[in-house]
């Protein structure tokens, strides 16, 4: 083969390679441009629908020394355009309060729990059920001054509430401390069993788990709302599919499963009594109810499949019942007061945003439920009567 033919063949191969490279570069440029356009569209849609802040965990910071997280002090944000959240200078979703013992005529309340007590779904602080309980108690007991602290945080387990009480609430010398949550501890104990049975591939994790920091540091997930949204939707629809499927379900002894939760609540109630306050145990109010049809129970537990897809709706109901029975046992054999009547809140979309979180109307109904029982409680009334007498003297 002549040198001219070889040169021509080499030129044709080079030209072909350049064409392929040009096509690949063009495809890459088009792909990047399309992804950039999609990213911009997603961000615009999110801003129109939700505003600049949509993730409730933006509200919190992690305290590695204590191993939990707390609301950021002096925060004032609109969350997803649905909720105006203000955090006071001490890191509570409640009005400012002095770090001094209350005056003789004051009754100081504190509320401990997870997202169902923090109430990020409510439109503003003043519509949360802890705020409404304090307001109703002030109206019912006008001769004393009612102050309160909402020390709840999304994702809190009873162990986190104990840490928060000892390190943040106890110095304020509360008189009455309300404890409300079961969903997060039910999720924790259930996940342990599911992991042992190989129904889930990762141990339980929460906001303060170091592995979650690694996920947050993923440069793509951290900076791309498009990729983050795709990932969340995949996880959501996967959980929904698994949750509604009859496969991969597990049965457990919920009475046995509730034992660690019961011990954590007992420990917390004991710390509250040790601080000279009255613990008030509030049974948990899920949207799923015993009298509902199977279809209604499924609708009332869809959100829970994100956390516990290995349960049926009926299993979730039995789990909540067992954890509420643990609350009742503690109240029966200790000096803790009990707020029962957990099904007093109507199980509809007007009162619930999902399976456990309240709307404004739900929080109002929750406050009615709590105060209706508190106003009849002899221990609470003796305390308030003594403070009224102190004021009169």
Q: What are the per-10-residue average pLDDT scores of the chain (393 residues)?
A: 58 62 71 56 46 67 93 90 90 94 92 97 97 98 97 96 98 97 96 93 74 45 46 48 64 97 98 97 98 96 90 96 98 93 97 97 98 97 92 53
* pLDDT given at position 216: 46
**In the CATH hierarchy, which fold is given to the domain comprising 56-189+249-392?**
Rossmann fold (3.40.50)
Distances (CA, A) of 378 to 71, 149, 182, 327, 383: 34, 23, 26, 19, 9
**Helical segments of the chain, H only:** 3-50, 115-118, 129-140, 158-164, 183-196, 210-216, 219-223, 225-244, 254-257, 259-274, 294-300, 313-332, 360-374, 378-392
Terminal Cα-to-Cα distance of the chain (whole angstroms): 118
Burial of 16 (0-12, 13-18, 19+ CB in 10 A): exposed
| DSSP helix/strand/coil, 377 | coil
Of all helices (H) and strands (E), which one includes residue 78? strand 76-79
Q: How far apart are CA 347 and CA 287, in angstroms?
A: 5
* pLDDT given at position 214: 43
The label of the residue with tokens 């490279």 reads 21
* pLDDT given at position 314: 96
Q: How far apart are CA 30 and CA 8, in angstroms?
A: 32
Task: Check if the beta carbon of residue 144 is closer than 8 Å to that of residue 230.
Answer: no
DSSP conformation class of 124: B
* pLDDT given at position 102: 83
| DSSP helix/strand/coil, 243 | helix
| DSSP helix/strand/coil, 45 | helix
Q: How far apart are CA 110 and CA 96, in angstroms?
A: 13
Instruction: Give DSSP secondary structure letters for 285-314.
Output: --S--TTS-HHHHHHHTTGGGGT-TTS-HH
Of all helices (H) and strands (E), which one includes residue 148? strand 145-150
* pLDDT given at position 373: 97
* pLDDT given at position 11: 52
The label of the residue with tokens 């509809």 reads 348
* pLDDT given at position 233: 46
The rounded Cα 343 to chain-centroid distance in angstroms is: 20
Q: Residue 267: which of 194, 166, 359 has the closest Cα?
A: 166
Task: Check if the beta carbon of residue 322 is closer than 8 Å to that of residue 350.
Answer: no
The label of the residue with tokens 């501890």 reads 185
Letter string b/e over residues 288-304, b meaning 16 or more CB atoms within 10 A of that residue's CB: bbeebeeebbbbbbbbb
Task: Check if the beta carbon of residue 144 is closer than 8 Å to that of residue 388.
Answer: yes
Q: How far apart are CA 305 and CA 238, in angstroms?
A: 9
pTM, whole model, 2 decimals?
0.83
Q: How far apart are CA 193 and CA 203, in angstroms?
A: 10
């Amino acid at each position: 083969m002549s040198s001219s033919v070889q040169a021509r063949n080499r030129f044709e191969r080079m030209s072909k390679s350049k064409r392929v490279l040009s096509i690949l570069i063009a495809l890459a440029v088009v792909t990047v441009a399309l992804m950039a356009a999609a990213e911009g569209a997603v961000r615009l849609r999110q801003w129109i629908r939700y505003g600049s802040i949509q993730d409730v965990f933006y509200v919190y910071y992690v305290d590695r020394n204590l191993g939990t997280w707390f609301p950021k002090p002096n925060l004032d944000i609109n969350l997803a355009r649905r909720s105006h959240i203000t955090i006071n200078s001490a890191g509570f979703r409640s009005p400012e309060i002095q770090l001094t013992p209350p005056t003789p005529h004051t009754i100081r309340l504190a509320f401990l729990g997870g997202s169902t007590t923090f109430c990020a779904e409510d439109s503003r602080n003043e519509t949360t059920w802890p705020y409404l309980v304090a307001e109703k108690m002030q109206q019912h007991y006008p001769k004393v001054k009612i102050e309160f602290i909402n020390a709840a945080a999304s994702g809190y387990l009873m162990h986190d509430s104990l840490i928060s009480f000892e390190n943040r609430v106890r110095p304020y010398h509360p008189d009455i401390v309300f404890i409300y949550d079961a969903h997060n501890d039910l999720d924790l104990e259930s996940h342990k069993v599911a992991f042992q049975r190989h129904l889930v591939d990762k141990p339980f994790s929460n906001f303060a788990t170091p592995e979650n920091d690694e996920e947050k540091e993923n440069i793509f997930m951290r900076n791309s709302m498009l990729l983050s949204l795709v990932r969340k939707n995949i996880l959501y629809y996967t959980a929904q599919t698994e949750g509604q499927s009859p496969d991969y379900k597990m049965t457990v002894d919920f009475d046995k499963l509730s034992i660690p939760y019961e011990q954590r609540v007992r420990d917390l109630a004991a710390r509250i009594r040790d601080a000279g306050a009255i613990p008030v145990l509030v049974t948990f109010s899920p949207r799923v109810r015993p009298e509902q049809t199977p279809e209604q129970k499924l609708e009332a537990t869809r959100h829970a499949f994100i956390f516990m897809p290995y349960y049926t709706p009926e299993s979730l109901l039995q789990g909540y019942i067992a954890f509420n029975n643990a609350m009742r046992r503690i109240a029966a054999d200790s000096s803790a007061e009990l707020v029962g009547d957990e099904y007093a809140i109507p199980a509809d979309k007007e009162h619930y945003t999902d399976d456990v979180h309240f709307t404004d109307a739900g929080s109002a109904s929750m406050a009615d439920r709590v105060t209706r029982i508190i106003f009849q409680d002899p221990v609470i009334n003796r305390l308030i009567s003594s403070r009224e007498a102190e004021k009169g003297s």
